[in-house]
Amino acid sequence: LAKTTQPISMDSYEGQEVNITCSHNNIATNDYITWYQQFPSQGPRFIIQGYKTKVTNEVASLFIPADRKSSTLSLPRVSLSDTAVYYCLVAGGNNRLAFGKGNQVVVIP
Amino acid sequence: DAGVIQSPRHEVTEMGQEVTLRCKPISGHNSLFWYRQTMMRGLELLIYFNNNVPIDDSGMPEDRFSAKMPNASFSTLKIQPSEPRDSAVYFCASVEGGASYEQYFGPGTRLTVT
């Protein structure tokens, strides 16, 4: 499984756009990049997945440069309820995911 | 659909006792995963099943841990004997199949071993 590196934590003010970065220098050709969100006392929840360039859904956007060695999850206009741990994962042709410790994002009023 | 169901939600037991955690995956999902989460180690994959067959159990800590999936709608994770270091939140997740990374997690079981 390709290893990912994320900041341990970050703060952001309510209403701002939050960009969460992830490094995955050893990503393989058939790996996809996946992001999950976990609120306190809940299981992780799938947010978005991509392979290259840009993917957008109703929750977030995922930006992946051409070399795919990093990715950025963008959350538009965060609210207090977006305070959570965000996990960046890369995975290949099976369903096995390595979550690690994630990035604690705290949204401040 | 009710989502992934786990029971019990909380379990407190004494060291040396047997603990059984239960999981009901989402109907139609053919892969099931057991994870353990602690502050120190984060979220770790213990074992996963595909079509009720264990595929990868390399994350199972030791022989005290065992997991079964007798049918497509039920799985158990057993710890015997339990130890204080097993205290953690245990999550079950299921996925529809194929190369899908959209896993659906249950609410977890918080285990405390005293």
pLDDT per position as a tens digit, B14-54: 999 999 999 999 999 999 999 999 988 889 999 999 999 99
Q: Which residues lie across from A100 on neighbouring strands?
A: B43
B12 vs A96, more confident:
B12
- Whether the pLDDT of residue A96 is over 80: the answer is no
Interface residue ranges in chain A relative to chain B, Cβ cutoff 8 Å = 32, 34, 38, 41-46, 49, 87, 89, 91, 93-102
Give the chain A residue whose CA is nearest to the CA of B100.
Answer: A95
User: How far, CA to CA in Å, does B71 sit from each of B19, B22, B68, B80?
Assistant: 20, 13, 9, 22
pLDDT score of A101: 80
Closest by CA position to B11, among listed B89, B93, B92: B89
CB contact under 8 A, A32 and B101: yes
Q: Does B65 touch chain A (CB under 8 A)?
A: no
Separation CA A99–CA A79 (nearest Å): 24
Out of A39-48, B15-24, B96-105, least confident range: B96-105
Q: Does B109 touch chain A (CB under 8 A)?
A: no
- For B5-18, letters b (16+ CB in 10 Å) and e give ebeeeebebeeeee
Separation CA B36–CA B24 (nearest Å): 17
Q: Does B30 touch chain A (CB under 8 A)?
A: no
Strand, coil or helix: what is B72? coil
Separation CA B97–CA A89 (nearest Å): 18
B94 touches B69 (CB < 8 A): no
Q: Mind listing the pLDDT tens digit for each residue in B52-78?
A: 999 989 899 889 999 999 999 999 999
Q: pLDDT exceeding 70 applies to what percent of chain B?
A: 96
Question: What is the mean pLDDT of the segment spanning A17-43?
Answer: 93
pLDDT score of B98: 60
CB contact under 8 A, B103 and A91: no
Closest by CA position to B102, among listed B9, B29, B16, B23: B29
| Amino acid (one-letter) located at A107 | V
pLDDT score of B102: 87
CB contact under 8 A, A95 and B33: yes
CB contact under 8 A, A95 and B103: yes
Q: In B, which residues are within 8 Å of A87 by CB distance? A: 43
Compare CB distances from B101 to A34, A45, A101 and report the shortest one's residue.
A34
Strand, coil or helix: what is A52? coil
- Whether the pLDDT of residue A9 is over 70: the answer is yes
pLDDT score of B99: 53
